[in-house]
Each structure stands twice: as structure tokens, then as C-alpha cells.
Amino acid sequence: MRDFSTDHRWLSINTATVRRQHGTEVPLPEIIEACARHGIRAISPWRDQVAAAGLDNVARLVKAHGLELSGYCRGGMFPYADEAGMKAARDDNRRAVDEACALKAACLVLVVGSLPGALAGKAAHKDIQLARNQVTDAIGELLDYAGSMGMPLAIEPLHPMYAADRACINTLEQALDVCDELDPMRSGALGVAVDVYHVWWDPKLKAQIARAGKDRLLAFHVCDWLTPTADLLNDRGMMGDGVIEIPKIRRWAEAQGFTGYSEVEIFSTGNWWQRGTDEILSTCIERHRSAV
């Protein structure tokens, strides 16, 4: 396993981690400048942050600072209740692929969605298997487009607590079943994003990381699971502050040949987002060395 204790060459910052400072929104160009100042080599920005700053502007800044994108957040939210919903999701995901290409991202991360309308508080139906079928079909269609553009798609399984609204793919095994179905030849165009926050509890995790193998391990996200967790979405912990055995999981991934970035992705309304950008980034660097 790579030794992270003396440098942070393989640290990437998911820009949600520093999107708020003392509770107020930080523009992406400022985040990019801050990362460059801290010697951070890679980021993974969110589409809304890129849109607010302008795609061309962000592409220029990324290039000027020699940054890489460990991923682009995010595509997905595929399930639909009607024809118009299906078309809207398809078009939006194609735009996400285009943006990821413009930014030369390593992959487009997919949070696949689940019961249509649930995220807004009113699910159009309760048939999660229907949602899963729609997700598989939609990824299959997007794969044709993304494949032609050379942009790998990384399915991110989400913790089962999000099964109703954010993702009906909840384990690495499920995500890899979709990969096997849609890309049996393991072309490299379709794989998974392993986020320790979502998968750490899974008794099959080690075996499924081995099943994924190097060609399907496209991204590795880290943070920590706090006890207690105060908010299901926005109370993620800094690495080392919770109960996830992060180095063990990283070792499993690296045993398969994974050599990519370790991307810090922390949503934290009550704690980290109340602090300053420099303090958050300094802490990420320190914990990347000691707890990842």
C-alpha cells in the first residue's frame, strides 16, 4: 500500500468539503486557488459550482494550476415518472458527460436516484424495482454516449439510508452486477466509485472490492462515520474522527492495483462548514497523512 504519511500527492478535495466557510458559500475559483496554495493536486467539483463560475473559466483555472480532476460530481438521478422526466434526465446526463470531458475529469460519478419525486418529499410510486430497472437501462444508454466521448462512468453505491430518494443502488455488489450486465467485457468505460461512508459496514466489502478489480475501481472517496450521526446527509466526519477503518479499505483497493486519488468528501453543516477554508484544507492534509 502507498505510504501517505510524508506527503499529500494523492490527496484530492471534493469541493463540497469546502463549499461553505463560516456558513457562507465559497465560489469555486476561490476553492481552486486555496487548493493550489496548499499544494493539493486534484479536486472533484460539483456541477452547480462549475455552472456558477462558468465552465470555460473553471477549465482555464484547473489548467493554469496544473490540477487534475479525480472525478466530476455528478450525473445520475435517472428514474422518472413520465416520458418528459425520462428525456430531461437523459439530456441532463449527456450535458454532465460533456462538462466532465471539458474539464478532463477522470470519471463522471453517478448517484443514480431512486423513487421519482421522493427527494422533493412526494414519491410518485413505491416500486423500487421499477426504479432499479430504469437506472440500469439509463446507464446503458448513457454508456453509449460517454463511451464515444471517452468518459468513464463511475456508479457510486449509496448507504441504504438513501434508498428511497438518492440511490436505489446501495451496495458495491449491486453496482458491480450492473457493470457486469452492461459491460461484460470490462472495457474500462464503466466502474464504481467506492465511498467509505456508504460501504464501510458491508460484510461483503472486501470480496466485492476484489471482484471490482483495478479496471472497475474508478474513484475512492473518504471521510468518517461519526457516532452519533446527527444528520443523515450533512454530518460526515473528518477522517480519524469516526469508526471507519479507512486504511484497511484503502489497502483492499490498492491490493487490486488501484493507484488513484484519495478524495476527501465531507458534508458538514454543523462543524466543518462553520470553519475557514484554510483550516479545513490543513486538517484534510494532516488526516490524509495520519488516518487514510
> What is the closest distance, in whole angstroms, from the C-beta atom of residue 124 to Zn ion in the complex?
26
Smallest distance, Å, CB 15 to Zn ion? Answer: 12
8 A C-beta contact, residue 189 and residue 146: yes
Q: Which residues contact 284 (CB under 8 A, 6 or more apart)?
A: 11, 13, 17, 238, 239, 264
C-beta of 166: minimal distance to Zn ion in Å? Answer: 11
Between residues 216 and 221, which has the closer beta carbon with respect to Zn ion? Answer: 221
Cis peptide before 74 (omega within 30 of 0): yes
Q: Over 135-152, what HEC string results?
A: HHHHHHHHHHHHHHHCCC
Nearest approach in angstroms of CB 83 to Zn ion is: 31
Q: Which is nearer to Zn ion, 115 or 222 (CB)?
A: 222
Q: What is the DSSP letter of 230?
A: S
* Total length of the chain: 292
**Which grid coordinates belong to 183?**
459491460
| 162 HSE (CA, 13 A, CB side) | 22
> How many Cα atoms are found within 13 Å in the side-chain-facing hemisphere of 188?
7
Nearer to Zn ion, 49 or 123 (CB): 49
What minimum distance in Å lies between the beta carbon of 285 and Zn ion?
19
Smallest gap, in angstroms, from Cβ of residue 60 to Zn ion?
26
Residues 241/246/248/253 CA torsion (nearest 10 deg): 180
Contact 230, 204 (CB under 8 A): no
Nearer to Zn ion, 103 or 196 (CB): 196
Binding site for Zn ion (CB under 5 A): 195, 221, 265
Q: Strand ranges (DSSP E) for 28-127?
A: 42-44, 68-69, 72-76, 108-111
Q: How far is the CB of 271 from Zn ion (least distance, A)?
A: 18
Residue 26 and residue 42: Cα distance in Å, rounded?
A: 18
Identify which of residues 78 and 267 has a Cβ nearer to Zn ion in the complex.
267
